Chain A
Amino acid sequence: MYPTKYHRPASLAEALQLLSENEDAKLLAGGQTLLPTMKQHLAAPEAVIDLSASGLCGISNGGTMVTIGAMTTHAEVASSADIAAVVPVLNGVAAGIGDPAVRHRGTIGGSISNNDPSADYPAALVGLDARIVTNARELSAEEFFDGMFATALEEGEIVTQIRVVGPKRAAYVKFPNPASRYAMVGVMVAETADGIRVAVTGAGEDGVFRHEGLEAALAADFSPAALDPVEISAEGLLSDMHATAEYRAHLVKVMAKRAVAAC
């Protein structure tokens, strides 16, 4: 790891101040991606700003909506009774990220701000039509995720909360890479107040995306068989040593059918 300066601000205001003073600083949430990246010399921030003491933890249940602090760990999301009461699908999504020790450190805010194209939360939050709250504004998950490892976050902006309204029904199913366990394809199917949403992670060259064909088919007939005639184009899908774009396209439909069956 190249030298860096560690900071642990005691408030969000102090964190924002440090961020504005250190142009090459990186925010450190759980560190489960940033630290390995720094160890491999793929990132060399002059400063890291640890948000663990900035008051961004905690989950609150507003009856039909849960609010999750950005520094809430995957383990906390996985085991939260408040989340189970409103949006239980999210317990399962978090329980499937990494391994138990990683889930004790990794956070929802860190994961979505990194926007790894194979991460589970992007599909979950786009599928559930979640809202992302920052120190400056609130935006939809769809507006927030902006391509591979890219988000709508501006310089000096910090995710503070994630808000999710409970869906009528929802399920998330992924096909994990046999070695890394990252999603080769993960599909969230949700029926929200605004209709059916199908969001896909792991497959797109530009990260998470919604699939209109799958959504339209499920709006007409919410059953796995309704997805059989839907054509999934391989265009714009990732192709690598693990799977071709065509194979990923195939997996999108299989995972979507399994998710519908699990709803």
Chain B
Amino acid sequence: MTQVTLTVNGKAVRRDVPDTMLLVEFLREELRLTGTHVGCDTSQCGACVVHLDGKAVKSCTTLAAQASGGTVTTIEGLANGSLHPMQKAFNDNHGLQCGFCTPGMIMSGVDMVARYKAAGKELTEHAIREELEGNICRCTGYHNIVKSIQQAAGEM
């Protein structure tokens, strides 16, 4: 067992968990934050993307112990009274069908907009499609997801 101390969505948490526990298991099973999904469990689909110390990571390919001492934001932590601009944009543009990949899409979307803004680069439609390489959607064909991220990029 190992002690994991984290700040998750602004709240300090501490748990004794197996050394092998993944960050996504910690979030879903220990904290019951089930908005973060497990799709492929092989770090390809991106349904499990959360922000660790401000960066998008695949929580199915990170040990909870590795994250210990850090700050995590999950899909549950984005809305602050009202929906986050990225969440609103997915709503406005119907950027989802079944919704399974959506938490990861939104967390990746927020991450890419923040990175491009910080670097002073324009987040073009082409760039969004390239940036979504690690997020797989089996329903939408991506068009509305890309539109959603484009809209949010203008509002964030």
Alpha-carbon separation in the docked complex, A28 to B67 (Å):
13
Give, as a whole number of angstroms, the nearest-CB distance from A180 to chain B: 8
Judged by DSSP, the binding face of B is mixed
Binary contact readout A51-80 vs B (1 if CB under 8 angstroms, 0 otherwise) = 010000000000000000000000100010
Contact A101 B63 (CB under 8 A): no
Answer whether residue A50 sits at the interface, using C-beta atoms and an 8 A cutoff: yes
Contact A35 B63 (CB under 8 A): yes
Answer whether residue B124 sits at the interface, using C-beta atoms and an 8 A cutoff: no
Answer whether residue A213 sits at the interface, using C-beta atoms and an 8 A cutoff: no
- List B1-20 residues whose CB lies under 8 Å from chain A: 2, 18-20
Taking CB atoms, residues of chain A closer than 8 Å to B115 are 100
Closest to A50 in B: B66
Answer whether residue B125 sits at the interface, using C-beta atoms and an 8 A cutoff: no
Give, as a whole number of angstroms, the nearest-CB distance from A168 to chain B: 28
Contact A100 B133 (CB under 8 A): yes
Contact residue range for chain A? Answer: 20 to 34
Give, as a whole number of angstroms, the nearest-CB distance from B105 to chain A: 12
Contact A1 B58 (CB under 8 A): no
Alpha-carbon separation in the docked complex, A99 to B18 (Å):
28
Contact B134 A101 (CB under 8 A): yes
Contact B19 A104 (CB under 8 A): no
Answer whether residue A6 sits at the interface, using C-beta atoms and an 8 A cutoff: yes
Contact B65 A6 (CB under 8 A): yes
Contact B133 A36 (CB under 8 A): no
Residues on A lying within 8 angstroms of B by beta carbon are 1-6, 8, 28, 31-32, 35-36, 38-39, 48, 50, 52, 75, 79, 98-102, 104-105, 181
Residues on B lying within 8 angstroms of A by beta carbon are 2, 18-20, 22, 41-43, 46, 49, 52, 55-58, 61-63, 65-66, 68, 108, 111-112, 115, 119, 131, 133-135
Q: Which 7 A-B pairs have the closest CB atoms?
A: A99-B134, A6-B19, A99-B133, A1-B20, A104-B55, A6-B65, A101-B56
Sample (19) of A-B pairs whose CB atoms are under 8 Å apart: A1-B20, A2-B20, A6-B2, A6-B65, A8-B68, A32-B61, A35-B43, A35-B61, A35-B62, A36-B61, A48-B63, A98-B134, A99-B46, A100-B56, A100-B131, A101-B46, A102-B61, A102-B134, A104-B56
